């Protein structure tokens, strides 16, 4: 997987380069940004939704199922852990991600339910759900590739 390079020099707008692709992120006007690109959390929801849709499509193709398309809306909300009764851990906050998924195609109820199970196995979902360990360091300059 190509590394992702992010630069920020003025305000909150960033330039994101991954492989041969360039995109941007920004903050809304209300947060001091210029609102010229999605916020990082909006991009996260887009990455998650894209990954879910692609994972379901790949699975359906392997099975020969008639999945013609996927549409979804995603959002999330942060709760204080003590205000979230289903959470029993020690973290201060809980993030609840909500998905509304429409599967297009002549699929049986059993196929739809299986695709919803498979959706939770996409790589981005796993990064969000499973333990992740950070390795951070401040350097004077990034190495040349």
Query: The pTM is what?
Result: 0.88
Q: Is 39 exposed, middle or buried (0-12, 13-18, 19+ CB in 10 A)?
A: middle
Residue with tokens 């996927």: 70
In this prediction, residue 9 has a pLDDT band, given cuts at 50, 70 and 90, of: confident
Question: What's the pLDDT tens digit per position in 10-25?
Answer: 899 999 999 999 999 9
Return the bridge partners of 74, or none. Answer: 99
| pLDDT score of 63 more than 80 | yes
As a whole number of angstroms, the distance between CA 86 and CA 55 comes to 28
Question: What's the pLDDT tens digit per position in 102-143?
Answer: 999 999 999 999 999 999 999 999 999 887 888 888 887 776
As a whole number of angstroms, the distance between CA 121 and CA 78 comes to 22
Comparing CA positions, the residue from 55, 70, 25 lying closest to residue 127 is 55
Structure tokens at 38: 């999605």
In this prediction, residue 49 has a pLDDT band, given cuts at 50, 70 and 90, of: very high
Residues in CB range of 131: below 8 A, 6 or more apart = none
CB neighbours of residue 54 within 10 Å: 14
In this prediction, residue 1 has a pLDDT band, given cuts at 50, 70 and 90, of: confident
pLDDT at 145: 62
């Amino acid at each position: 997987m190509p590394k992702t390079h992010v630069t920020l020099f003025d305000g909150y707008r960033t330039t994101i380069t991954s492989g041969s692709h360039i995109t941007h992120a920004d903050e809304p006007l209300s947060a001091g940004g210029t609102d010229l690109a999605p916020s990082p959390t909006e991009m996260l929801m887009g990455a998650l939704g894209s990954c879910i849709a692609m994972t379901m499509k790949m699975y359906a193709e392997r099975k020969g199922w008639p999945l013609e398309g996927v549409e979804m809306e995603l959002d999330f909300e942060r709760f204080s852990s003590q205000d979230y009764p289903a959470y029993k851990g020690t973290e201060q906050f809980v993030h609840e991600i909500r998905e509304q998924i429409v599967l297009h195609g002549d699929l049986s109820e059993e196929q739809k339910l299986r695709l919803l199970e498979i959706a939770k196995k996409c790589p981005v979902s796993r990064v969000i759900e499973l333990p992740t360990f950070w390795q951070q360091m401040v350097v004077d300059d990034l190495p040349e590739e």
